[in-house]
Structure 1
Amino acid sequence: MAIVSTKIKRDQLKPGDHVFSWRELYVYAHHAIYVGDGKLIHFTVAANREIGSGTVSSNFGSTSSSRYAAFPCPICGYHSRLGGVVSTCIDCFLYGGDLYLFKYGVSMAELLANPRSATVCTLASSDPSEVVLHRAFYLLENGFGAYDLFEKNCIDFALYCKTGLIVLPGAQRSVLSLLALAVAALSTIPLGNFGFAVSVYGTYRVIRLAHDIGFRDDATKIEVEELVRRFP
């Protein structure tokens, strides 16, 4: 969980907010953009097997399709067998969970101190809400491509809507970026058993930093129309 809770009430939501809900005892989280009128837009696979919180544990978890009703929701019409970019009511998104607000523009210290940083916050700054909403609605209409556990999942969708940043196919980190990460990882290695444990945790924190969209130098800012045109 986050060191500082970002739990939010429904009546506190503002259009353009990036929210998430924990799944399976905090193993992973599912992410969405709130668009107003009690509706969210999010990227999912069929039967709500949403994976992709950015955590190691999320790579091995999934929710059972039998857990959710197959009939359309009487409020929003959502059907649990539908996948891709979808619009649902808050209840269909939460499935009994709680609502949390994803934080943007956090400090490096806060990012590194938070053990679930990639799931709950980022160094990147959010664009204005009207831009965020335009991207979300455009992708609802035109799609975000195929869902991929490692390359394109629910948090990638929400981060793109908020920042316009995405790691394009074939993009690679610069050599200087990789060297900086290696030095940071090595600098955490002291001596002794306790030191080894600390070094492992320090390396883990560096890996988390390496995946932050606000830190990566291989992330590109691209207009949503161009994104859909290039990668339909």
Structure 2
Amino acid sequence: MEHIINKIDKDSLKPGDHIYAYRKLHTYSHHGIFIGGDRVIHYNRTKDGNTSQRAKPSKNCGVDKNHLRGVVKSCVDCFLKHHTLRRFQYGVGYGRYLTNWPGTNNGFGDYNLFENNCEAFAMFCKTEKRVSDQACSAMLLIKASVKVAMDRLLRES
């Protein structure tokens, strides 16, 4: 099972690894690139978030977590936020790809959940293609939900 879910420990990280961690009960994942020396580059929201829960700067890397915006460098622990570390696998077969949970240009601009997110950033760093499998999955789910609702409305009229 460990092979399917890509779970790894910090000791097995190598510079250039595309890593991620699931958040909020596996509803989405946060992606980044491990650059060595316990540091990760990753892409965060660019607009102000919830500032009612102020966090203290990291003791490990000194990053002020309240001001992480855009492309940032932080320690692995700040990237993970107490979630499980996973390594993204490239070049796997379609069947293997389907067993994963659904998971994202040089100037990345404003964060956009569907078009410009952390997964697209990490994929771009590794492949020079900006894609987000989790955003595509979410869009397909939204389109399917709209179609079901429209079909129901048409049947009722």
Same fold (TM over 0.5): yes
Q: Percent identity?
A: 39
- Amino acid aligned to 2:87: L
C-alpha change, 1:68 and 1:5, in structure 2 (3 Å) is farther
User: In the alignment, which of 109, 112, 133 is matched to residue 148 of structure 1?
Assistant: 112
For 2:5 and 2:13, locate their aligned partners in 1 and report how far apart those are by CA, in whole Å: 16
Aligned to 1:110: 96
- Work out which of the residue numbers 85, 96, 104 in structure 2 matches 1:99: 85
Which amino acid is 1:19 matched to?
Answer: I
Equivalent in the alignment of 1:195:
none
**Kept in 1: contact 2:46–2:110 (CA 8 A):** no
1:73 and 2:58 correspond: yes
- Match of residue 90, structure 1, among 76, 99, 123: 76
In structure 1, runs of 5+ residues without a counterpart are 50-63, 120-134, 168-206, 212-232
Residues 100, 67 of structure 1: alpha-carbon distance in 2 compared, 3 angstrom cutoff: farther
Match of 1:158 in 2: 122
Cα distance in 2 for partners of 1:88, 1:75 equals 9
TM-score by length of 2: 0.72
Cα distance between partner residues in 2 of 1:68 and 1:23: 19
Which deviates the most, 153-162 or 21-30?
Answer: 21-30
What is the deviation of 1:65? 4.9
The aligned counterpart of 2:153 is none
**SS state of the match for residue 165, structure 1?**
coil
Asked if the contact 1:44–1:154 (Cα under 8 Å) also holds between the matched residues in 2, the reply is yes
Cα distance, 1:75 vs. partner?
A: 2.2
Structure with a larger share of its residues in helix: 1
Q: Distance in 2 between the 1:43 and 1:22 partners?
A: 15
CA shift in 2, pair 1:97/1:166, >3 Å: closer
User: How far did residue 72 of structure 1 move?
Assistant: 2.2
Would you say how many aligned residue pairs link Structure 1 and Structure 2? 133
Q: Which amino acid aligns with 1:86?
A: V
> Following the alignment from structure 1 to structure 2, what is the Cα–Cα distance between the partners of residues 146 and 23?
21
1:11 corresponds to which residue?
A: 11
What is the deviation of 1:94?
1.1
Distance 1:24 1:78 in 2: 23
Q: What is the distance in 1 between the residues matched to 2:25 and 2:108?
A: 28
> Residue type of the partner of 2:74?
T
Q: Which has the higher contact order (CA 8 A, sep 6+)?
A: 2
Q: Deviations over 1:136-192 (max 9, x none)?
A: xxx6xxx5211111110000000000101136xxxxxxxxxxxxxxxxxxxxxxxxx
Aligned to 1:27: 27
Aligned partners of 1:42 and 1:161: how far apart in 2? 10
The answer to whether the Cα contact below 8 Å between 2:32 and 2:42 also exists between their aligned partners in 1 is yes
RMSD (Å), alpha carbons: 3.0
- Give the distance between the partners of 1:47 and 1:81, measured in 2 at CA: 12
With over 3 angstroms needed to count, the CA separation of the structure-2 counterparts of 1:11 and 1:101, relative to structure 1, is same
Task: Structure 2: state its 5+ residue gaps.
Answer: 141-157
Deviation of 1:98 (Å): 0.9
3-state SS of 1:159 partner: helix
